[in-house]
Structure 1
Amino acid sequence: MATKAERTKQFIIETAAPIYNQKGISGANIDDVLEATKLTKGCLYGHFENKEDLTLQVVDHMLTSNGEKIGLAISKAKTAKAKVFAFLDFYKDPLNTHLKGGCPIFNIAVEADDHFPEISEKIAGIIRNGQEVFVSILKQGIQAGEFNENLDPAVYAFKAMSAVEGGVIMCKVLKSAKPMAGLIKSLKAELESYSQ
């Protein structure tokens, strides 16, 4: 069982996550976190060395949480096609993502690319790993006879992940989830075209 200090630290991280996801790494500040948590600066700095330490731990939490939620959605599916569909459906409501503010992977990636190399490298690792898992699922589908040999797993995985991430941002800007439904339907239809 977690100690009171561990619970408080986790509470700070979980409370700060949507702030960082909405305002960005540079836009989020300690005062935002203090206001949301109702804690004192002394308490906050009793758990984190500085804003950079808080930021790194909040980013780790957001990325881990996002990965766990996607993993859980995919793990419930039995076939390769069902796993891909579960991944796509995870993003079906881009205006109401599990963490307020959109997809943390995309949000963090855009900002970290030029300003936070350590975080940028974490994101790159997560994206590479996600691609590898996606490709692996598609290869299993080919081996199991779900998909024919015309399916190029690396190309489809990259296309689907890029389209979905871009779709989340466009839907947020347009304030409409409707285009995402069409995108997901199109990606599913493309995968179905390779079905045996």
Structure 2
Amino acid sequence: MSKGEETRRFIIEQAAPLFNTKGIAATAMSDIMEATKLSKGSLYVHFENKDILVASAVDYNMEQLTSKLLNSLNQFNTAKDKLYGYLDFFIDPTQPIINGGCPMLNFGVESDDTNELIKIKVNNMVNKSQKLLSDIIKHGIDNGEFKPDWDYDDFATIMFAMLEGGILISRVAGNNTKMKVINKNLKKMIAEQTL
């Protein structure tokens, strides 16, 4: 990695949690300057404008979340255990996996009416997340773990939506009581489909 690439990566690493915590609109380039200890001119050498930096920071946050999730799921062997592991990975949104909380939720809510590029990035990540869940369930059906008539695409949508809603409720309430309810009920739904 060249010095320029290292500096660019460093800026993204420092900016990503700021954008995810404060929001895109509320994070100024001066905040990035303070976090990186770089001048405005240095920032603009690596990023033509704030929008380009935001797009890179959004990608970075979502890559970090995906990497941590996949590393967690890799410890499980069965499809059922992977689904339970997925649920448990998000059990306490008050202790976020990524600084600032779920980047899909944070950036999705902020960008839906204001930033088409970020909205598309978040939508792509939502679709990938649901496909991951669908693929786990389909694999479980193919392996004889789950009932063959389980509509795995519908369940993946339901599970994902309930978790994202649970993240929002938990973060606003400051506790994970409701997420525990969601976790328990989704596990019950999965168990009902298990052979």
TM-score (norm 2): 0.94
**In the alignment, which residue of structure 2 is the partner of 1:176?**
175
Q: Unaligned 5+ residue runs, structure 2?
A: none
**In the alignment, which residue of structure 1 is the partner of 2:165?**
166
**In the alignment, which residue of structure 2 is the partner of 1:8?**
7
Q: Secondary structure at the match of 1:26?
A: coil
Q: Shift in Å at residue 130 of structure 1? A: 1.8
2-structure distance, mates of 1:16, 1:143: 43
**Aligned AA (2:54):** T
Q: CA RMSD in A?
A: 1.4
**Aligned AA (1:49):** E
**Aligned AA (1:147):** F
**In the alignment, which residue of structure 1 is the partner of 2:145?**
146
C-alpha contact 1:97 1:103 (8 A) present in aligned 2: yes
2-structure distance, mates of 1:53, 1:149: 45
1:132-154, Cα deviation, whole Å (9 max, x unpaired): 22112111111211111352211
TM-score (norm 1): 0.93
Q: Among all aligned residue pairs of Structure 1 and Structure 2, give the percentage whose two residues are the same amino acid.
A: 36
1:36-82, Cα deviation, whole Å (9 max, x unpaired): 12221122112111111111111111122212222222222111111
**Aligned AA (1:187):** L
**Aligned AA (2:94):** L
Aligned residue pairs, count? 195
Equivalent positions of 1:14-25 (< 5 A) are: 14-25=13-24
Q: Shift in Å at residue 3 of structure 1? A: 2.5
**In the alignment, which residue of structure 2 is the partner of 1:26?**
25
**Aligned AA (2:191):** E
2-structure distance, mates of 1:62, 1:43: 22
2-structure distance, mates of 1:103, 1:59: 11
Q: Secondary structure at the match of 1:27?
A: coil
C-alpha contact 2:64 2:98 (8 A) present in aligned 1: no
1-structure distance, mates of 2:172, 2:126: 23
**In the alignment, which residue of structure 2 is the partner of 1:42?**
41
Q: Secondary structure at the match of 2:25?
A: helix
Q: Unaligned 5+ residue runs, structure 1?
A: none
Q: Secondary structure at the match of 2:38?
A: coil
C-alpha contact 1:171 1:177 (8 A) present in aligned 2: yes
**In the alignment, which residue of structure 2 is the partner of 1:129?**
128
1-structure distance, mates of 2:15, 2:85: 28
2-structure distance, mates of 1:29, 1:166: 29
1-structure distance, mates of 2:153, 2:120: 21
Q: Shift in Å at residue 91 of structure 1? A: 0.6
**In the alignment, which residue of structure 1 is the partner of 2:57?**
58
